[in-house]
Chain A
């Protein structure tokens, strides 16, 4: 089976700014892939090159076995990050127009449009002008526009941004449905939790370069738990506190609200350290903190920082990229 997308050694610069650097990855057909990275990491540029909207300075891209997406445009569904609608056009006219551009025959097209609008609970808005819809509704129309021609490859650039939780879940289930129907789905997001929940593989991009390419499970196992969080039953004396970092397997202890975070040095397993902490102090709760994709991502990005100043700046920015916040269990 040919790969849905194959990218080899692709570079792209805009003037002095390098947007994508030596990007290489393969996406097998039928997979559901998350392309994650902070804003400006090069996700959209990569996707636009895959779509042949812009062209790489060097390197090779093949899409659905063809030299470029131009030759297989009708087999690709694309939801751009900068998405738009004709403001004055009616919803059903817009969808019909896009489907016709994608090479769908006009026979039976009306029915197909209606069926899709019904799926996303927008049948009542079929005759409304696009500008009359709310932002979330528009986004659903745009999603339909990208899948109405039943493409083999679906590329969604930031599909969840701006959606409320209910619609995000609806979209998530629609994406899953497309995946189960055997289609290849790639979506980019800066919300790592979203990717973690849905994807069967994640490609992480930072500063135009691919930094990670693995399954969410693979990533988790690669970045073993390195922290234990414990809440003392009663306030600890200074002496008790001073003794805690000396526990075997513990590198450092820091405060987080009412809890203490035990950074592990990796010489002992998390379970062993957990047992030692319980012996050392009475606790009301204790857990092993598993790294989320976001934590992993942060760690990678911070490691890549070239100077302490850059590292500091990135730390300050960290909250901005996360979106969903840190999740532990």
Chain B
């Protein structure tokens, strides 16, 4: 036992004390942090400062004024800041954070610097309805190949033409149905995409407003009336109500499974490379003169398992802290974390045994590729099961998968952290099945390991490994 622990300690330290491990552990959270902080900054990137005017040829005679009002610098600014707030609130609501946090997110998205600087200085120039369109385009044609800054003091950036039918409608002679055509918009080659879309939206809005006014309605009132209300979802539980959020219901099981997957896979990968290293550097025989193959195998699996567990603790710890920070801890009952540990152990020991077996059979990492294919298959299955099982944790398919060795720890983690409670008896039974799978995997791995570690030369194929298991 002492020797197993000595091996385990070395295997643990050999990974944990390296720079690459620290980097590997820190990198994912740092990357996520960067994405979270940088995305709003990038979204608030100032578009190029725009100056110039939009020409309006208004055949209806009732839209141009409205459009001019909407295009002042102040109204563009206020519109943009309103849009961003809405966006942040929607995002916050989707992931289910409370109102206070939604506000904080909105603040983060709406940085003051971005709000003041990027509103373009655009003016609206109303042209008489009988203006020749080609003459109106002349300035834009002349500027087509120039940079925005070289276009002169007040270049024409776009021409909006508002046909009369846009406001009044066209009555079809055949059916008598009234339709409203689209309006033409001519833009300069250099116009920013955000401004183009702004002009489109605001023109459209001004046209609709004009139609409503023509019908004797108050446009603002109508807008207020047709705002679609959203549901404030409350899940009724035995203990009372809790906030419902569909996105979190999909994300939490997925997060649990990925957490486990990453820890298991990384630890397994470490195990594979360390076994191959010991074999290819020929240190294996020195070790085997001091410990038995089964002691070495156990020590290695335990040591790298500790590495995986450490990763799991760091990541899930960060996750739990984040949940506490967002006051969403009710999404993850404490017993689920205990189950996570149990299923991690099952998944890890299974994959570890297979990885060590593969590692012991080959001499170089390149040779391991073909033998890794079946192991990789096992690791890909949980990814494919995520959605179907999370959405229906008690389907026949999910229940059957819960008792298939090798796959069941991942399936059970998805089911347990999902929205529906699952039959209680299935938890101990699936753990038992998992444990039997582990025993089988370690038994088979130890057979392969004993033969493989001293075998050099042509790497065996999968059939040979199976023969080794049956032979020894």
Interface string of B266-291 (1 = CB under 8 A from A): 00000000000110011111111111
**CB pair B285 A83 closer than 8 Å:** yes
With a cutoff of 8 Å between Cβ atoms, the chain B residues found around residue A76 in the complex are 289
A322–B277 alpha-carbon span in the complex (Å)? 34
Stretch at the interface among B3-11, B89-97, B144-152, B439-447: B3-11
B336 at the interface (CB under 8 A from A): no
A47–B390 alpha-carbon span in the complex (Å)? 57
Task: Report if A53-B289 is in contact (Cβ < 8 Å); known contacts: A97-B6, A100-B6, A101-B3.
Answer: yes
B45 at the interface (CB under 8 A from A): no
Nearest Cβ on chain A to B385's Cβ, whole angstroms: 38
A78 at the interface (CB under 8 A from B): yes
Task: Report if A84-B286 is in contact (Cβ < 8 Å); known contacts: A53-B454, A97-B10, A101-B7.
Answer: yes
13 CB contacts below 8 A, A to B, read: A53-B288, A53-B454, A73-B289, A73-B290, A80-B282, A82-B456, A83-B282, A84-B283, A84-B285, A85-B283, A86-B14, A87-B277, A101-B287
A18 at the interface (CB under 8 A from B): no
**CB pair A85 B3 closer than 8 Å:** no
Q: Which residue of A lies closest to B280 (CB)?
A: A84
Interface string of A65-94 (1 = CB under 8 A from B): 000001001101010101111110100000
Which residues 37-61 in A have Cβ within 8 Å of B in the complex? 48, 51, 53-54
**CB pair A84 B284 closer than 8 Å:** yes
Task: Report if A102-B290 is in contact (Cβ < 8 Å); known contacts: A85-B281, A86-B281, A97-B10.
Answer: yes
B139 at the interface (CB under 8 A from A): no
Beyond A73-B289, A89-B14, 10 additional pairs, beta carbon < 8 A: A53-B285, A76-B289, A82-B282, A83-B285, A85-B281, A87-B277, A87-B281, A102-B290, A103-B2, A145-B286
**CB pair A80 B292 closer than 8 Å:** no
A87–B277 alpha-carbon span in the complex (Å)? 9
Q: Which residue of B lies closest to A89 (CB)?
A: B14
Which residues 286-330 in B have Cβ within 8 Å of A in the complex? 286-292
With a cutoff of 8 Å between Cβ atoms, the chain B residues found around residue A70 in the complex are 292
With a cutoff of 8 Å between Cβ atoms, the chain B residues found around residue A206 in the complex are none
With a cutoff of 8 Å between Cβ atoms, the chain B residues found around residue A184 in the complex are none
**CB pair B285 A80 closer than 8 Å:** yes
**CB pair A54 B290 closer than 8 Å:** no
Q: Which residue of B lies closest to A44 (CB)?
A: B285
Q: Which residue of A lies closest to B456 (CB)?
A: A82
Task: Report if A86-B454 is in contact (Cβ < 8 Å); known contacts: A78-B289, A101-B291.
Answer: no
Q: Which residue of B lies closest to A101 (CB)?
A: B290
Q: Which residue of B lies closest to A97 (CB)?
A: B10
Nearest Cβ on chain B to A38's Cβ, whole angstroms: 20
Nearest Cβ on chain B to A184's Cβ, whole angstroms: 16
A78–B287 alpha-carbon span in the complex (Å)? 10
**CB pair A51 B289 closer than 8 Å:** yes
A104–B453 alpha-carbon span in the complex (Å)? 25
B residues with a Cβ closer than 8 A to A are: 2-3, 6-7, 10, 14, 277-278, 281-292, 454, 456
In-complex Cβ contact of B454 among A54, A84, A87, A145 (8 A): A54
A53–B289 alpha-carbon span in the complex (Å)? 7
A residues with a Cβ closer than 8 A to B are: 48, 51, 53-54, 70, 73-74, 76, 78, 80, 82-87, 89, 97-98, 100-103, 142, 145-146
Q: Which residue of A lies closest to B292 (CB)?
A: A70
**CB pair A98 B281 closer than 8 Å:** no
Nearest Cβ on chain A to B360's Cβ, whole angstroms: 14
In the A-B complex, the 9 residue pairs with the smallest Cβ-Cβ separation, listed nearest first, are A84-B282, A84-B283, A78-B289, A80-B285, A101-B290, A84-B281, A82-B282, A100-B6, A102-B290
With a cutoff of 8 Å between Cβ atoms, the chain A residues found around residue B277 in the complex are 86-87
Nearest Cβ on chain A to B453's Cβ, whole angstroms: 9
With a cutoff of 8 Å between Cβ atoms, the chain B residues found around residue A82 in the complex are 282, 285, 456
Q: Which residue of B lies closest to A77 (CB)?
A: B289
A70–B6 alpha-carbon span in the complex (Å)? 18
**CB pair B454 A98 closer than 8 Å:** no
Chain A CB within 10 Å, residue with most, of B7, B278, B287:
B287
Chain A CB within 10 Å, residue with most, of B14, B282, B287, B289:
B289
A86–B287 alpha-carbon span in the complex (Å)? 11
Q: Which residue of B lies closest to A99 (CB)?
A: B290
Nearest Cβ on chain B to A318's Cβ, whole angstroms: 27
Q: Which residue of B lies closest to A106 (CB)?
A: B6
**CB pair A86 B283 closer than 8 Å:** yes
With a cutoff of 8 Å between Cβ atoms, the chain A residues found around residue B289 in the complex are 51, 53, 73, 76, 78, 80, 146
With a cutoff of 8 Å between Cβ atoms, the chain B residues found around residue A103 in the complex are 2-3
A145–B285 alpha-carbon span in the complex (Å)? 12
A41–B417 alpha-carbon span in the complex (Å)? 62
A215–B282 alpha-carbon span in the complex (Å)? 33
With a cutoff of 8 Å between Cβ atoms, the chain A residues found around residue B3 in the complex are 101, 103
Nearest Cβ on chain A to B100's Cβ, whole angstroms: 50
A29–B14 alpha-carbon span in the complex (Å)? 39
A89–B11 alpha-carbon span in the complex (Å)? 12
Q: Which residue of A lies closest to B289 (CB)?
A: A78
A54–B451 alpha-carbon span in the complex (Å)? 9
Nearest Cβ on chain B to A141's Cβ, whole angstroms: 11
Q: Which residue of B lies closest to A52 (CB)?
A: B292
With a cutoff of 8 Å between Cβ atoms, the chain B residues found around residue A87 in the complex are 277, 281
A326–B6 alpha-carbon span in the complex (Å)? 48
A97–B284 alpha-carbon span in the complex (Å)? 13
Nearest Cβ on chain B to A13's Cβ, whole angstroms: 14
A70–B294 alpha-carbon span in the complex (Å)? 12
A78–B289 alpha-carbon span in the complex (Å)? 6
With a cutoff of 8 Å between Cβ atoms, the chain A residues found around residue B282 in the complex are 80, 82-84
With a cutoff of 8 Å between Cβ atoms, the chain A residues found around residue B292 in the complex are 70, 73
**CB pair A73 B283 closer than 8 Å:** no
Q: Which residue of A lies closest to B7 (CB)?
A: A101
**CB pair B454 A73 closer than 8 Å:** no
**CB pair B286 A98 closer than 8 Å:** yes
Nearest Cβ on chain B to A195's Cβ, whole angstroms: 22
Q: Which residue of A lies closest to B18 (CB)?
A: A88
Nearest Cβ on chain B to A53's Cβ, whole angstroms: 5
With a cutoff of 8 Å between Cβ atoms, the chain B residues found around residue A78 in the complex are 285-286, 289
A76–B3 alpha-carbon span in the complex (Å)? 16
With a cutoff of 8 Å between Cβ atoms, the chain B residues found around residue A145 in the complex are 286
Nearest Cβ on chain B to A275's Cβ, whole angstroms: 56
Q: Which residue of B lies closest to A86 (CB)?
A: B283
Q: Which residue of A lies closest to B2 (CB)?
A: A103
A82–B278 alpha-carbon span in the complex (Å)? 12
With a cutoff of 8 Å between Cβ atoms, the chain B residues found around residue A86 in the complex are 14, 277-278, 281, 283
With a cutoff of 8 Å between Cβ atoms, the chain A residues found around residue B14 in the complex are 86, 89
Nearest Cβ on chain A to B330's Cβ, whole angstroms: 46
A324–B7 alpha-carbon span in the complex (Å)? 41
With a cutoff of 8 Å between Cβ atoms, the chain A residues found around residue B456 in the complex are 82
A262–B150 alpha-carbon span in the complex (Å)? 109
A103–B4 alpha-carbon span in the complex (Å)? 11
With a cutoff of 8 Å between Cβ atoms, the chain B residues found around residue A84 in the complex are 278, 281-286
With a cutoff of 8 Å between Cβ atoms, the chain A residues found around residue B281 in the complex are 84-87
With a cutoff of 8 Å between Cβ atoms, the chain B residues found around residue A54 in the complex are 454
A84–B277 alpha-carbon span in the complex (Å)? 10
